[in-house]
């Protein structure tokens, strides 16, 4: 829709309070809406789920809408949103944008949660699917980073297993850099995830340093050299940032794999491990051999 020429300049208005409240999970559940902050994520929301975007708030730096000079990045997003009938576009003062989110960098959007709540039916299965599963990922920045890595590595879906951070937390959304709008992010309990993988013929590969007495981890390069392992449908399961994967879950997976540490560092963090493992598998599987 064309931009509304009137300027929103009251940070204490009910409308703006309701938008800012979307930082809280309770307000998101009650309203069924999600706050998307920053140019990168908002651009991807407008491009990939335009019908789900209800309102767009753009920083206004002048009095009149006609005379406005906007950065090329923001202007391109506004242009695209103006072509979508469902999107109300609002000019907002600096105080209003700051009240909406200190991390908005000039632009924020309100998106319908229903359109983002991925169903299994939305998975566009590839020939040999790779799923990225995360058990109890808790840090919003990590959660966003792993969704982004899974998207970039061409995974078919992400599964958040058991008690993870809310995938609609604004910091998660921002950290995905738009990938939340590219790839289905499902939520399941551990039993459900294992049953789902089994029903789809997907092997579960846990990323873990220690393994179990009956199932020692093999190293990632060893797995990459194994064409059968690389070529099969798989879900790669990563553990919690601090505690890794629990023993009872490790005992129920098909394979355990670990990234070798060649230097003196003790470990890699979750986001780095996920990126290295998912990309190595993706490159290996795309190349036939590396």
Site string for a second copy, 10-49 (x = CB under 8 A): ------------------------------x-------x-
Q: Which is nearer to a second copy, 163 or 222 (CB)?
A: 222
Q: How far is CA 42 from the centre of its chain?
A: 13
Return the residues of window 176-235 that contact a second copy according to CB under 8 A. Answer: 177-179, 182-183, 220-221, 224-225
Closest to a second copy by CB, 22 or 52: 52
| Near a second copy in 271-290, by CB under 8 A | 271-272, 275-276, 279-280, 282-284, 286-287, 289-290
Q: How many residues bind a second copy (CB under 8 A)?
A: 44
Q: Which stretch binds a second copy (CB under 8 A): 95-103, 145-153, 186-194, 196-204?
A: 145-153
Dihedral sign, Cα of residue 264, residue 213, residue 135, residue 120: positive
Q: How far is the CB of 225 from a second copy (least distance, A)?
A: 6
**What's the closest the beta carbon of residue 196 comes to a second copy, in angstroms?**
21
Rounded Cα distance, 169 and 116, in Å: 13
Alpha-carbon 66 to chain mean position: 36
Largest separation between any pair of C-alpha atoms in the chain:
70
Q: Is 158 in the site for a second copy (CB under 8 A)?
A: no
Between CA 227 and CA 284 the distance in angstroms is: 9
CA distance 99 to 120: 36
Report the site for a second copy in 249-268 (rule: CB under 8 A): 259-268
Least distance in Å: CB of 174 to a second copy?
Answer: 13
Handedness of CA 139, 102, 29, 26 (dihedral sign): positive
Minimum separation from the CB atom of position 106 to a second copy (A): 16
Q: Do β-strands 234-238 and 130-135 pair in parallel, antiparallel, or remain unpaired?
A: parallel
- What number of residues does the chain have? 290
DSSP string covering 209-257, please?
SS-BTTBPPEEHHHHHT-HHHHHS-EEEEE-BTTTB--HHHHTTSSEEE
Give the interface with a second copy as residue ranges (CB under 8 A): 40, 48, 145, 148-155, 177-179, 182-183, 220-221, 224-225, 259-269, 271-272, 275-276, 279-280, 282-284, 286-287, 289-290
């Amino acid at each position: 829709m064309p931009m509304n020429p009137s300027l929103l300049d009251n940070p204490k208005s009910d409308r703006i309070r309701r938008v800012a409240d979307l930082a809280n999970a309770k307000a998101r559940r009650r309203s069924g809406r999600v706050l998307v902050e920053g140019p990168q994520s908002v651009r991807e929301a407008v491009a990939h789920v335009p019908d789900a975007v209800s309102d767009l708030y753009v920083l206004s730096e002048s009095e009149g809408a006609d005379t406005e000079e906007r950065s090329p990045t923001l202007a391109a997003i506004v242009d695209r949103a103006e072509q979508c009938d469902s999107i109300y576009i609002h000019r907002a003062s600096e105080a209003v944008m700051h009240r909406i989110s200190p991390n908005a960098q000039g632009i924020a959007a309100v998106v319908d949660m229903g359109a983002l709540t991925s169903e299994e039916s939305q998975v566009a299965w590839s020939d040999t699917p790779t799923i990225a599963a995360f058990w109890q990922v808790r840090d919003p920045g990590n959660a966003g980073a792993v969704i982004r890595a899974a998207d970039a590595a061409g995974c078919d879906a992400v599964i958040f297993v058991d008690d993870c951070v809310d995938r609609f937390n604004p910091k998660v959304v921002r950290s995905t850099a738009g990938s939340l709008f590219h790839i289905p992010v499902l939520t399941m309990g551990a039993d459900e995830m294992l049953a789902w993988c089994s029903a789809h013929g997907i092997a579960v590969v846990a990323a873990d340093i220690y393994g179990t007495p009956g199932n020692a981890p093999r190293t990632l390069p060893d797995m990459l050299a194994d064409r059968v392992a690389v070529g099969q449908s798989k879900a790669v399961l990563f553990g919690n940032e601090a505690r890794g994967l629990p023993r009872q879950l490790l005992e129920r997976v098909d394979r355990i794999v670990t990234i070798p540490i060649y230097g003196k560092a003790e470990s890699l963090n979750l986001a780095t491990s996920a990126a290295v493992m998912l990309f190595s598998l993706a490159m290996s599987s795309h190349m036939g051999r590396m």
